[in-house]
Amino acid sequence: MSLSDRSTTWALLALGTVARVLPWSARRTLGRLIGRRMMGLSSSRRRITQENVERAFPSIAAPARDAIVHASYENLGVVLTELLATPALTREAVLDRVSIPGFDAVRARHAEGKPTIFLSAHYGNWEYLAMAAGLMLDAPVSIVVHPQHNAAADRILNAYRSQFGNILIPMGDAARPLVRTLSTGGTVAFLVDQHGVPEKDPWIEFFGAATPTYEAPAALALRFNAPIFYAFAERMEDGRYVAQIRELPMDDLTNDRDGVRELTRRHVAVLEEQIRRRPELWSWQHRRWRT
């Protein structure tokens, strides 16, 4: 382990120790402070964030764009601080913090042994959303995750993510576990706001610019006739999260390349609409338009 990775891991453990003993409001305040600190750690990442916001909202004034950048970093800090406090959480505490109106439709499919695909994004507190979904389903959700470069930190964070029973599937080895889960009527989840593979995935317009977008969620949905449900965890004034869940229409599509592309376009459109509603809750730090 490099010195940098070792330092990062110890910092995460120290922050988690503090976060677990704080009340919710103080934890959120600490998270915002951490987010501001994160903004100063990497000038290149901050520049990517600023460029992304400017690309998405070219017509708004610079101070308003700067406010989105600052708030986005603060949201990242809050998400990290809340995730690191997970060992101190109970099932009841998670369900008190996150509500998912409309989740009965997913629960009903699970009871009937039918497969379901759940989509979200790096928006609000996506970590707590996944935990709450598994708890409300009373069954594990298989979540596709992108492994971190810091293996030690990755193990710590993944232990927290799976604390309430969810199953984590590394992106590079996801094909067989996803097929097995859907074939047996399980529920899988994706965060669908990352850069896809330019030579393989469809290029879908996102904030006015085409960008490669992973086709796997749409391809699996059409192959297994598994409806896509989407939700985004919006933070409320009291620090709780509400994630209205809705089904993405796909009954008119066929299981072919055109169908996969159109279904991908539909879920990207939903994501963009949500981000436009509250842009400060999305993680603009990703290089979404890198190609």
We report the CATH number of the domain holding residue 66 as 3.40.1130
Contact indicator for 115, 224 with CB cutoff of 8 Å: yes
Does some domain include residue 117?
Answer: yes
Overall number of domains in the chain: 1
- For residues 159-172, one letter each, b for 16 or more C-beta atoms within 10 angstroms of the residue's C-beta and e for the rest, the string is ebbbebebbbbeee
Q: Give residue-wise pLDDT tens across range 136-163.
A: 999 999 999 988 888 999 999 999 999 9
Does some domain include residue 234?
Answer: yes
Q: Is 200 helix (H, G, I), strand (E, B) or coil?
A: coil
Q: Give residue-wise pLDDT tens across range 3-49.
A: 788 888 999 999 999 999 999 999 999 999 999 999 999 999 999 99
pLDDT at 120: 98
Does some domain include residue 131?
Answer: yes
- C-alpha 151/C-alpha 4 separation (Å) is 12
Does some domain include residue 167?
Answer: yes
Does some domain include residue 200?
Answer: yes
Domain range for 144 is 3-281
Q: Looking at this protein, which amino acid is placed at residue 131?
A: M
Q: Is 275 helix (H, G, I), strand (E, B) or coil?
A: helix
DSSP states of 115-151 as a string? -EEEEE-SBBSHHHHHHHHHHHHTS-EEEEE---SSH
pTM: 0.95
For the chain, the C-alpha Rg in angstroms (whole number) is 19
- C-alpha 83/C-alpha 130 separation (Å) is 11
Does some domain include residue 38?
Answer: yes
pLDDT at 282: 98
pLDDT at 291: 63
As averages over each run of 10 residues, the pLDDT of the chain (291 residues) reads 84 95 97 96 95 96 98 98 97 98 96 97 98 97 91 94 97 91 97 93 96 97 98 97 98 97 98 98 93 63
- C-alpha 54/C-alpha 69 separation (Å) is 10
Does some domain include residue 290?
Answer: no
Does some domain include residue 291?
Answer: no
- For residues 37-73, one letter each, b for 16 or more C-beta atoms within 10 angstroms of the residue's C-beta and e for the rest, the string is ebbeeeeeebebbbebbeebeeeeeeeebeebbbbbb
